[in-house]
Amino acid sequence: MRGKGGPAVRRVVAAASPLAANPFESVLRGIALEAGLDAVPQGAVEVGGLHLVGGDPEVVHPDVVDRGRRIALEADSWEFHSDKEAFQRDCWRYTVLVAHGWVVLRFTWWQVMHHPGWVRECVRRAAERAAA
């Protein structure tokens, strides 16, 4: 792709992975890479010991993970957060990640697609804070 948006599109395509659940997560990962994260899609994070009734998993897979900095990025959209069970599951996952010392940043589709500079700056600041 050539033109005004060509370099950004090429960066996102280069960062694409079959592990990402959807293109939205790939775009978020591309922004995270630009912000300096060692970002991997659907990275496994052990969170044993904080179960709710029903036996939640010992391992969760946030959308984008930087294990070294313990930063998890979530690409949140209405499509996958439209019922009570999905909402409960996501809140549990975010809470156990934070309880295990992770920073969790949640971004909407609109933020990622229309304000990537803001998303990049938020991720960059979280990375700086993790390094301090």
Task: State the pTM of this model.
Answer: 0.82
Could you identify the residue written with the tokens 């950004």? 8
Per-residue pLDDT tens over the stretch 32-89: 999 999 999 988 898 887 766 556 678 888 999 999 999 999 998 776 566 788 888 8
Per-residue pLDDT tens over the stretch 97-122: 999 999 999 999 999 999 999 999 99
For the beta carbon of residue 26, count every other beta carbon within 10 angstroms. Answer: 21
